[in-house]
Structure 1
Amino acid sequence: MKRKVVAFLSLAMSMTLLFSACGKSGAGGAGKDLKASEVIVAVNPEKLPPTATNRKDTIVIGFTAPEGKFNPIYGGTIDDSYVTELVFEGLMSNDVQGNPTGLVAKKWEISEDNKTYTFIINKGIKFSNGEELKAKDIEFTYTALCDPKYDGPRADAVEKLAGYKEYNKGDAKTVTGIKVIDDYTISFTLTEVKAPALSGDFGYGIMCKSYYTFEKGNVAKLKELFLKPMGSGPYLFKTYKAGQEADFEKNPTYWKGEAKINKLILKVTNAQTAIQSLSAGEVDIDRIGTSPENIQMLKTSGFVNMQLYPANSYGYMGLNLKDEKLKDVKVRKALIYGLNRKGFIDAKYKGYAEVCNSPVSQVSWAYSDDVTKYAYDPAKANTLLEEAGWLKKDDGFRYKDGKKFEIHWMTYKGSKYVDMLIPIVKENWKAIGIDVIPELMEFNTLCTKVYDEQKFEMFNMSWSLSIDPDPSGIFSAKQAELGGFNAGNWINPESLKLMTAALKTTDTNERKKLYGEWLKLFTEDVPYILLDQSKEMWAVSSRVKGISLSPYIRFTYQIAEAELVVPKAK
């Protein structure tokens, strides 16, 4: 849901909603307190292998599956967001509680009618090409989001701007709701109140106008610079080797002062190699799936600290509601009743995950479990399929109008999570007469097919969520367009009504009530098969100081202050 992103996660992407693979994400839950954080301290911090100690000026951080869309208004995966957050900075960020804080913006004012946001920006912020960041660059960035040819997932940040429709659909040369007052002051005027605007819409990294410039309608020029990102953040992007790593050097002109670590490498790891790479000292920081086995292996290394906290995320299987068989809500309910989600989660995480019953994190003020739970019930699943006209034949599978009930499930390679999920889904759904055909592919290919092309029946991913629980960042009608996050095309009139009403009120209690109604509607309509809610775990080498992660704080927020040290024996 969008607060805003990663989900995760930013608008800087702290404030953005992001999608990711589940293979390396942490989990926490059953029998444990999902809301509790925990730090497991390394018992022998001085046991660092030479591979790590000899890498004196470089930090290596693991990531999984970047798409290579290294642009703050296009990147949709959590891994792409790590790159953009290192290179770009937005007007706003957030503190550990999720409250909005200024970044490029030094101060801000909100009009009495809650429709106009005026930002005064810090002087002396420079892009890495030497140009000073000014209001015109902010205007350029947000006007790009309004472009009629913009096909990324962030349009919801500008749809309520005065003049958006005239610019996006008409011949207007500018967006009237964006006003440059002077070099260091800019205002944004909305057509209606939008409760999460401050924390949700003003964290996207600011692009340098002279570097990224394009004429209206030619926004594709931004894509030509995906692999040449240039901003005002703490690190400079140097090179990217697809499937291997992205390399950075500290920005010597960073306005807050040079980063303490000279070089940074984002290295591609996976569930099979991540712990080994950490234990060998080849990687300093990585996100690891939370399980007793993984915790014990990391403890054995002696020098790895573990930070566990409630994840602002959830895992799910997305359904294409344009597909004829999946249009029927009885079929969708049968699928979720017919899947032993708890059995999968318990087997995979052994006490470190809970079944997700509500598409909002338990750390959110909007969380509610007053929804339909869908406990595993094959008998009910069979009844629903019969009612929907899908009848079993002698081969054990169901047919309707002469067509066998097959469901093609697109998923990604290199994930223990997926490897365990596949046989459970196939077995559970075969038992109710459905033939599941998994189609494994690279994560980037999956993202393209799901979001850019919407050519799928079912897929699985996880959402790294925004701080604000607004779900319109995923489930609005606009997001159902190609490139948007509502790839399954769940466009429910009551859902749209509730989301709109919640956006128009600044009363948190009223918003919570509206979101409670929305959560009930979502679970009754089953546009997703919700899977797990979890704790996230990050392994951090004892040679890294200054990184303290939590649901709303990512390593990119603290990287400029982090440093490498030589641990001493206790």
Structure 2
Amino acid sequence: MNKQWMRITVPVLALALVLSACGGNKAATEPDSAPKAETAGSTGLTSVQDGLVKASDLSKNPETAKKRTNTFISGTQTPEGIFNPYFYQNGWDGNVTSVLFASLVTKDETGKPIPELAEKWETSPDQLTYTFKLKPNLKFSDGSPLTAEDVAFTLTLLHDPAYDGRVDIAQANIKGGKAYKEKTADSVAGIKVVDPQTIQIVTEKVSTLTLPLIGGEVLSKAYYGKDYKQGNLDYIKTLHDKPLGAGPYKFDKFVKGQEVRFVANPNYYAGKPAVENFIFKITNNETNLQYLKVGETDFDRFTANRDNYDQLKAIGFANINTFTATSYVYLDFNSGGKLLKDKRVRQALYYGLDRQKFTDILYQGFGEVANVPVSPASWAYTKDVTPYPFDPQKAKQLLDEAGWKVGADGIREKDGQKLKLQYLGRKGYNIDDVLIPLAKENFKDIGIAVEAEILDFNALLAKRKKGDFDIASFTSTNFSDPYDGVKSFHSKYNVSGYSNPAIDKLIDQGTETLDTNKRIPIYHDLYKQLKDDPPVLLLSYLKILSAHNARIEGINPDPVSILNRSIPKLKIQ
């Protein structure tokens, strides 16, 4: 599974302050190691390119950090405590599982699949059969052996009739998987343990989704499969807060709202990590910079903008990494609701919102307006889709055509109903601090009212699932494949009422060949059709800004894994 590092924080920004602070090309005067800048955006802000800025003054390193010689502390946000890679719903729980569990197959910094627990794998000429050879002498963190039986158990569990987690193993098309799910078979026919080090998976359909699905994290059959019976996962769910994996660290304890603690795994396949203790400390946009500054944390992510960048540089002892994210910021539409069912209204919202201003205010040259649901860093990205300009007159025209007429109070109405949008925002997600006032102002100009409600993340998700909203703000996770950026638009997976058979067909076609050159035109066609019938309002592509105490060696963040790949290699000077 592709494990994502979900750290998003945004400071509250005042428009006048931001625009005055970011008017000059400051990055052009930085040393050679600094990210370069080029002019971009409607306000003349500078667009900062990817790069590393090394610490300028290690003597500023606080005593609190220097005394911590065998413990690494990373900031994160609010895990819930479901520490199983196949059951968590909260992405911060996913950060925790990435430390505890290891996969058959992982991905390099470009998103290319590479072996992890697997020594190698082979694919049959018809691309339907996968044979994995495990690395020798693999063990779970408790010292028990990790074999092909554990892989088979994991894949069988995902086909269980009672499995209700986040992974749709049906997309792997394993032979006999459907029969097991429907309880017409007592095993999955396409899963074959050849010997303790070898497992063979037979599929019925070629798909780009198969390898990442069957090459995911491995669960211990002895631990999680104790007394396992088809159709009953009650026992497994009791272990969510007592995880056992084969990753670089072992679980120690979780103090909700405060921290998650780990200790180095002596049985890790790549060798016990040099740093004995690892801690996820709960931080937020009001505390993360201060914690790093005083030495309470060693690593964190920050919203990539000039304010944060300059403050991090001023710390002196921090190494700063800036790189293009594989994610995007967006507003989800309730396409199944009465107000946004007509695609002309959704198109009008695109024309009616000044997305360039939003991007400039929030990211100050560290972002750009998003026009297709894939990052510019992806091979599937294209500029051939004509972007929506900021055009309030066009927005008004579309709303008129859709039958929404301006009322006496300036708000449009139709069939006795006002065009008043319920906006769901998130506590601690200060993208909304910029977006809500801008959306209210822009949309009022075209005759649309906005009422905002700020919730904690889980409450927001619950309201969206019930359809109790019109628009809701999100940042996607980091994607290593373009399918990940459009999957939620498929009617099979969409939770916001969006359904378009032509879109479904193209999304499916994009996964039905392993040839990247054949996938490219499919995605480009898909993006054009999504522009015409938009399921979301794309806002910005962004850069990832991370910083770490320079006394820590081995941190090389990248767009795919952020910190994950570095964790086993960390050393403290």
Distance 1:395 1:318 in 2: 27
Amino acid at match of 2:375: S
Distance 1:161 1:349 in 2: 44
Structure 1 residue 157, shift from structure 2 partner:
6.1
Distance 1:517 1:235 in 2: 44
Q: Deviations over 1:223-282 (max 9, x none)?
A: 332222210111111222222211111112222211111111111111121111111111
Aligned twin of 1:13:
3
Q: Deviations over 1:478-509 (max 9, x none)?
A: 32xxxxxx322433211221122222222221
Distance 1:137 1:33 in 2: 51
Amino acid at match of 1:398: R
Distance 1:313 1:30 in 2: 22
Q: Deviations over 1:187-216 (max 9, x none)?
A: 222211113533x32442111122222322
Q: Deviations over 1:323-367 (max 9, x none)?
A: 122111011111111111111111122211101001001111111
Aligned twin of 1:466:
479
Q: Deviations over 1:120-144 (max 9, x none)?
A: 1123221123321111211121222
Aligned twin of 1:49:
62
Distance 2:368 2:197 in 1: 47
Aligned twin of 2:186:
173
> Is residue 288 from structure 1 mapped to residue 296 from structure 2 by the alignment?
no
Structure 1 residue 416, shift from structure 2 partner:
2.9
Aligned twin of 2:72:
59
> Is residue 251 from structure 1 mapped to residue 259 from structure 2 by the alignment?
no
What pairs up with 1:249-288 in 2 under 5 angstroms? 249-288=263-302
Aligned twin of 1:523:
531
Match of 1:434 among 435, 448, 460: 448
Structure 1 residue 466, shift from structure 2 partner:
2.8
> Is residue 381 from structure 1 mapped to residue 395 from structure 2 by the alignment?
yes
Distance 2:326 2:309 in 1: 21
- What secondary structure, in the 3-state scheme, does the structure 2 residue paired with 1:86 have? helix
Mean CA deviation greater in 344-353 or 356-365: 344-353
Match of 1:420 among 425, 434, 441: 434
Aligned twin of 1:125:
138
In structure 2, relative to structure 1, the CA distance for the partners of 1:414 and 1:220 (3 Å cut) is same
Q: Deviations over 1:145-196 (max 9, x none)?
A: 2222322221056452222222223422222222222221112222111135
Q: Deviations over 1:12-65 (max 9, x none)?
A: 526xxx8775648xx999739989520011100232101111222111101123
> Is residue 193 from structure 1 mapped to residue 183 from structure 2 by the alignment?
no
Counterpart contact for 1:12–1:92, Cα < 8 Å: no
Return the TM-score normalized by structure 1.
Answer: 0.90
Aligned twin of 1:400:
414
Counterpart contact for 1:62–1:267, Cα < 8 Å: yes
Distance 2:530 2:450 in 1: 24
Amino acid at match of 1:194: S
Counterpart contact for 1:234–1:251, Cα < 8 Å: yes
> Is residue 361 from structure 1 mapped to residue 375 from structure 2 by the alignment?
yes
Distance 2:292 2:443 in 1: 38
Structure 1 residue 474, shift from structure 2 partner:
2.7
In structure 2, relative to structure 1, the CA distance for the partners of 1:379 and 1:69 (3 Å cut) is farther
Aligned twin of 1:483:
none
Match of 2:216 among 204, 212, 218: 204
> Is residue 391 from structure 1 mapped to residue 405 from structure 2 by the alignment?
yes
What pairs up with 1:96-175 in 2 under 5 angstroms? 96-156=109-169, 158-175=171-188
What pairs up with 1:216-255 in 2 under 5 angstroms? 216-255=230-269
Counterpart contact for 2:424–2:452, Cα < 8 Å: yes
Distance 1:424 1:224 in 2: 45
Structure 1 residue 410, shift from structure 2 partner:
1.5
Distance 2:272 2:46 in 1: 39
Structure 1 residue 68, shift from structure 2 partner:
3.0
Distance 2:300 2:413 in 1: 46
Mean CA deviation greater in 268-277 or 490-499: 490-499
- What secondary structure, in the 3-state scheme, does the structure 2 residue paired with 1:93 have? strand
In structure 2, relative to structure 1, the CA distance for the partners of 1:148 and 1:447 (3 Å cut) is same
- What secondary structure, in the 3-state scheme, does the structure 1 residue paired with 2:483 have? coil
> Is residue 561 from structure 1 mapped to residue 569 from structure 2 by the alignment?
yes
**Structure 1: unaligned runs, 5 residues or longer:** 1-10, 480-485, 566-570
Aligned twin of 2:229:
215
Aligned twin of 2:30:
none
Amino acid at match of 2:334: N
- What secondary structure, in the 3-state scheme, does the structure 1 residue paired with 2:423 have? strand
Distance 1:206 1:269 in 2: 30
- The share of aligned pairs that are identical, in percent, is 37
What pairs up with 1:428-507 in 2 under 5 angstroms? 428-450=442-464, 455-471=468-484, 473-479=487-493, 486-507=494-515
Aligned twin of 2:94:
81
In structure 2, relative to structure 1, the CA distance for the partners of 1:116 and 1:135 (3 Å cut) is same
Aligned twin of 1:38:
51
What pairs up with 1:310-325 in 2 under 5 angstroms? 310-325=324-339
Counterpart contact for 1:12–1:85, Cα < 8 Å: no
Structure 1 residue 516, shift from structure 2 partner:
0.6
In structure 2, relative to structure 1, the CA distance for the partners of 1:377 and 1:358 (3 Å cut) is same
Return structure 1 stretches of 4+ with deviation > 4 angstroms: 18-22, 27-30, 32-36, 156-159
Amino acid at match of 1:547: I
> Is residue 543 from structure 1 mapped to residue 551 from structure 2 by the alignment?
yes
Structure 1 residue 444, shift from structure 2 partner:
3.0
Mean CA deviation greater in 512-521 or 179-188: 179-188
What pairs up with 1:89-100 in 2 under 5 angstroms? 89-100=102-113
Counterpart contact for 1:29–1:352, Cα < 8 Å: no
Amino acid at match of 2:457: F
Q: Deviations over 1:399-429 (max 9, x none)?
A: 1221122221212112332211111111111
Counterpart contact for 2:422–2:471, Cα < 8 Å: yes
Counterpart contact for 1:94–1:101, Cα < 8 Å: yes
Mean CA deviation greater in 113-122 or 170-179: 170-179
- What secondary structure, in the 3-state scheme, does the structure 1 residue paired with 2:543 have? strand
Counterpart contact for 1:30–1:352, Cα < 8 Å: no
Aligned twin of 1:6:
none
In structure 2, relative to structure 1, the CA distance for the partners of 1:182 and 1:169 (3 Å cut) is same
Amino acid at match of 1:383: Q
Q: Deviations over 1:284-309 (max 9, x none)?
A: 10001111111111111110110111
Larger radius of gyration: 2
Aligned twin of 1:512:
520
- What secondary structure, in the 3-state scheme, does the structure 2 residue paired with 1:109 have? strand
In structure 2, relative to structure 1, the CA distance for the partners of 1:543 and 1:360 (3 Å cut) is same
> Is residue 370 from structure 1 mapped to residue 384 from structure 2 by the alignment?
yes
Amino acid at match of 1:513: P
In structure 2, relative to structure 1, the CA distance for the partners of 1:12 and 1:88 (3 Å cut) is farther
Structure 1 residue 101, shift from structure 2 partner:
1.0
Mean CA deviation greater in 83-92 or 430-439: 430-439
Distance 2:512 2:288 in 1: 44
May I ask how many residue pairs the two structures share in their alignment?
A: 543
Task: Using CA pairs under 8 Å that are at least 6 residues apart, name the structure with larger relative contact order, 1 or 2.
Answer: 1
Aligned twin of 1:482:
none
Distance 2:487 2:150 in 1: 24
Counterpart contact for 1:34–1:310, Cα < 8 Å: no
Return the TM-score normalized by structure 2.
Answer: 0.90
Q: Deviations over 1:519-559 (max 9, x none)?
A: 11112111000011011111111111001112224312121
In structure 2, relative to structure 1, the CA distance for the partners of 1:386 and 1:67 (3 Å cut) is farther
